[in-house]
Structures are given as C-alpha cells and as structure tokens.
Amino acid sequence: MKENIVIKYRHTVLFYLLATLIPWIFWFAASYVSHHVVYSKSTWTAPLLGLAGLCFPMILTIMLVSRHQDLRKDFLGRFLNLSFDKWQYYLTACLLMPASILCAMAISLLFGYSPSQFVITGHYTFTSGVFPVWFLLILAPILEELAWHGYGTDCLRSRMSLFKTSMLFAAYWAVWHFPLAGIKGYYHANVVSEGWLYSLNFIVSIFPFVFLMNWLYYKTNRNILVAIIFHITAGYFNEIFSTHPDSKCIQTILLLIVSIIVVLKDRQLFFKRTLA
C-alpha cells in the first residue's frame, strides 16, 4: 500500500470545517422549508437543499485534490487498484451488512418478534421528496464516500493511528448528521420520532460501521469503491426488509462484536502510528 501519499492529505481543519458548515447551512434551511407552508408550494425546495448539502463535501474533496498532481493521480488510481488477492475483502464489503441484518432478524425471532420481518416490502421507512428513495440510497453513499474516503479519512490518518482516526471520524459523522433529523420525512427525523433508544442506536451503530469500513478500505489499498459498496449495502438492505427497529439494535451489537474482533486481530493496522 502506498501509505506515504497519505501524508500529503494535509488540510484537515479546512476540510472538516467547510464539510460541516456548508452542508449544515443547506440542511437547516431544508428543515425550515419542510415544516412551513412554503413547502406546499414547491416540493422541490427541501430535497434540493438537502442534496446540495450532501454534494458539498465531495465537491470540496475534488477542489482540494485537483490542486496537486500527485493527489489527483492517487485519487483517480484508487478506483482501479483492484487486486485478485484481496478478493476476501471485496466479498466482505458486499455481504457483511446484509448478513448482519439477516442474522439480527433471525436472533429477534428468539425473543418473539415476527418472521414477517424477512418480507421484502417494496416500500421504505422514509421519504425523500421528489427523489425516489432507492435513488438516494445509492447516490448518498457514493457522494459521501467520495468525500470521506477521497480525502477526509486520509487527512486524519496522516496525523494519527487508524484507531484514533476511526473513533474521531465516527463521533464527527454522528454530529454531522444532526441537522438531517429536522427535515420532515427524512430517515433521521423518523428515527428521532421513534424514541431515544433508536436515536442512541443510530449513533452507536456508526462506530462499528466506521471501523469496519476503514478496515476494508485500508486492507484493499485504500480502494474507494469498496467503501462505497459497503455503505450502499448498509443502507439498502436495512430498508428493503420489514425490519423491526429492535432488530437494528441487535445488528449494532453484532457489528460491535465483529469490529472488536477485527481490531484485536489486526492491531498492527489500527494502532500503528507511522505511515512510512
């Protein structure tokens, strides 16, 4: 893995400051619009504001990367650096999240929850305005991972161990989503309306998710497509079934166990400070 190039991702404060401030401006505006009468006059307004906020970190990444030839080359090369000897990580990226939610629902049956959870409903637990939900379940992970694993993760990793990088980014990412909870009909707003337990579960679930995604990312020579696929499967397979919210809590426990095992087995990757 060309770890030395990671040192050149230097603009950590600038990246995270702008990647938070600008999306929040759009999302707080979308929240206001979605709850006021103006929304009934234009159903496009709130979704477009939401999408603009979602796009900005990716645009920021492109702006920062495009200024340096070596970063441009590194960024573009991380889509094509697939290697046959990494097949087990590619497979894990595709199957871990769907397997975890299926196992969680199976475990929930032992506590009396309904087998109907396994039914593919054909509808989703949230709305996204004028955009089809399936479209956002694919687009959002692409836009986010082009930013988070295009620049955000590496600029943290250039300063600290992967363990600290993952902990700090997971905490940041939980806070970054905060304004989305105010946009009427959005997934995060619905989670909040379900109660504190499920809101807490969403926050906690981010931590094992980030650890596992970063593990896959660095194990595949920083391949951005692996991160995108992992993120898409997480959102999509948690939506297509009639999953009880308590099963998602069970899934979080399972992912925490898996992430702890991964960190313990790959201590060198997570706790090594130097990049050389």
Q: What is the pLDDT of residue 2?
A: 46
Interval 67-86 mean pLDDT: 93
**Two tokens at 79?**
């889509």
Please give the average per-residue pLDDT across 190-206, as a whole number. Answer: 92
- Phi first, then psi: give them for residue 132, nearest 5 degrees: -60, 140
145 Cβ contact list (under 8 Å, min separation 6): 224, 227, 228, 231
Cα–Cα distance for residue pair 160/72, rounded to 1 Å: 23
pLDDT single digits (tens) 49-60: 999 999 999 999
239 is catalytic: no
Mean pLDDT confidence for 162-182: 96
Domain boundaries, the chain: 3-271
**Pairwise CA distance, residues 99 & 115, whole Å:** 16
Q: Compute CA distances 161 → 69, 110, 175, 191, 253, whole Å.
A: 26, 40, 21, 32, 24
Assess whether 68 carries a catalytic annotation: no
- pLDDT confidence of residue 40: 52
Residue 97, classed as helix, strand or coil, is helix
CB 255 within 8 A of CB 212: yes
Q: pLDDT band at 37, cuts 50/70/90?
A: low
Residue 276: pLDDT above 80?
A: no
Q: Which of 46-50, 190-194, 260-264, 272-276 has the lowest mean pLDDT?
A: 272-276
Is the pLDDT reported for residue 125 higher than 90? no
Higher pLDDT, 209 or 189: 209
Q: What is the pLDDT of residue 128?
A: 66
Q: Per-residue pLDDT averaged across 91-111, rounded?
A: 97
Q: What pTM does this model have?
A: 0.93
Q: Spot the catalytic one: 3, 68, 123, 177.
A: 177
Tokens coding 43? 């159903």
For the chain, the residue count is 276
Among the listed residues 43, 36, 22, the one whose alpha carbon sits nearest the alpha carbon of residue 182: 36
133: pLDDT confidence band, cut at 50, 70 and 90? Answer: confident
Which is the catalytic residue, given 144, 145, 188, 231?
Answer: 144
Mean pLDDT of the chain: 92
Q: Is the pLDDT of residue 139 over 50?
A: yes
Alpha carbon 101 to its chain centroid, in Å, reads 16
Q: What is the pLDDT of residue 257?
A: 98
Please classify residue 256 by burial: count the beta carbons closer than 10 Å to its beta carbon, then call 0-12 exposed, 13-18 middle and 19+ buried: middle
Which of 201, 203, 213, 207 is closest to 97 using CA atoms? 213
Helix (H, G, I), strand (E, B) or coil at 266: coil
Give the model's pLDDT for residue 1.
43
Among 137, 118, 117, which residue's Cα sits nearest to residue 127? 137
